[in-house]
Structure 1
Amino acid sequence: MSPSRLGRALAALALAAALASPPGRAEAEPVPITISATRIDRFGPATPIGARYGELVFLGGLQLRSDDPNFGGLSGLRLSADGARFTAISDRGFWFRGAVEREGPTPTGLTRVEREAIEGPSGALPGRRGSDTESLEIEGRSAWVASERINQVLRFALDANGRAGAGRAISMPKEARSAPFNEGFEAIALTEGGALMMIGEKFLDARGDNRSFVVGARKPFSFSVKRTDDFSPTDAARLPGGGFVLLERRYVPPLSLSIRLRRLTEADIRPGAVVDGPVLMEANLIQTIDNFEGVSAHRSPSGATVITLVSDDNFSRLQRTLLMEFQLPD
């Protein structure tokens, strides 16, 4: 996450490193990096692997570290349909791609990881102090990346290895381009029909709900996502069985952080609607959480729906890059 309310409050507790200027990024080709992973076998004091938490079952997690100075700030995530590979973006304007290793349903590490600069129409994107890439969607040979500082969505063509060329800006309604600075579209996901759903982080309508849009459809339209308990959307993903999972975060200074997952029904998303959905789980600092900003969903080899979360560490020594997985019972 870029220096928002959460970043500024944590900066008051000596998180100056989170606001450091990004290191140089001259590499034109993918750079192999090594990710070390420490297993997390409990989501909370009473939630070991295999235990239910809310409507979900905890499958395990990882704390990720790397000597690469550009690793971190992960704000968007997509896993392949079988969960074997991942693509993530950082708010410094990098792609990260690699394989997810597992023992049964439990993640154990990331291997064959590469980093590559995200290229826009005019070259490498300027990172979180410029465009601030925050959300990601992938479908087939196409990827979409949303930047919240300049309220832009780029579409990329992918090659057979998942590598992207230069992105091109998609058309967005004028109303969508007026999202507040640094509080734009942190959550994007494709609808079943192939249009792009975009949900604002704190882009509020007259009722105080989160303004949202569907673009790329025959008739683009706006709707809203019900805002409750001051949770802000940070990502969304389409579920394999239909509908969406919405990741939300609430920060209350100085040290209160909560995250929430809600399920949205696609049939409810229509022009002018206010969409709400049931809470799948809500967690706070009693559980093993951090600044979760990315969510993905896939089918496991057994056919179960798996939800994967990743956190943005703000490049701070006081925060962590966590990857956590849960099963959504059918």
Structure 2
Amino acid sequence: MSEFNLRSAASYAGLILMMAVTSLLAILLIGPVKAAGLGAFEDPDSILNAFLFIFAMLVITAVLLILIKWKAQQVISVIIGFSLAAVIYYVVMALLHQAGLGVLADAGGVICGFGVIALLWFYPEWYVINTAGILVAAGCAVIFGVSLSLLPVLVLLVLLMVYDFIAVKRSKHMLTLADGVLRQKMPIMFLVPKTKGYSYRKSGFSIRNEKGERGAYMIGMGDVIMPAILVVSAQVFAGGEGVMSVFGIYLPALGALIGGIVGLLILMIPVNTGKPQPGLPLINGCAIIGFFLCCLIAGSWDWLVW
């Protein structure tokens, strides 16, 4: 039976807000990140980058699944913690360098990176997780978005749509992975309370409340990062002189953002059944459709020259 009610609608609004804020923050970070020379790949036009991304993700997934099987929870915490701290470090360092702080920028990045992880460890409440998650997701999106042009990004998003469906519906190893890392007190997901007074920390790191009912909705960080990568890449590689923009956001990037939000809204329909659902087929698919529709409206096709 559907759990939909007004509180569910408010939770949906919270998820949409976090997706939008993540993409908008990523766009704001484009300048500082490019100025700091941060990037994941040397050649942004290489389609091979998409396959390298998938390969690296599969290796990391395999390592985490092995650690879960071995019940090496502390090792998992360290790996996730250092990874997230590194992203926060790069984001803060880039911003502080942009502000002209020089050497102090690196020190500030280190302090913020480990400070946020410490806060998550000692007080992992849902709003702390979400705040850190937005920063990490925006950081990942901008670092990959500025270093991948649009063709590799589109290939990557399509590959991830297929992978996510298989990982959730067929092999189901993604469910094992999510269950294994859910208790690590790190922003690997976004949580939006459905019930008043919900506390992730007090509920034993579960999305259920004390009555066993769904106390919060959860969406994986990857479901927010991947469409945001397209948003950033579209802003960098499909923008420029003569391309329509809204408040400085080029129309192809705005189309990807709106499309991702539409995909999330559609995803909430099967999610309400309480069964795990692959998010990327709908979210990435709608983001790509929104991107192409707005490219058509804006007449922005120069990025197709490859």
Structure with more of its chain in strand, by fraction: 1
Structure with more of its chain in helix, by fraction: 2
Q: Which has the higher contact order (CA 8 A, sep 6+)?
A: 2
TM tier, shorter chain? under 0.3
TM-score when normalising by structure 1: 0.25
TM-score when normalising by structure 2: 0.26
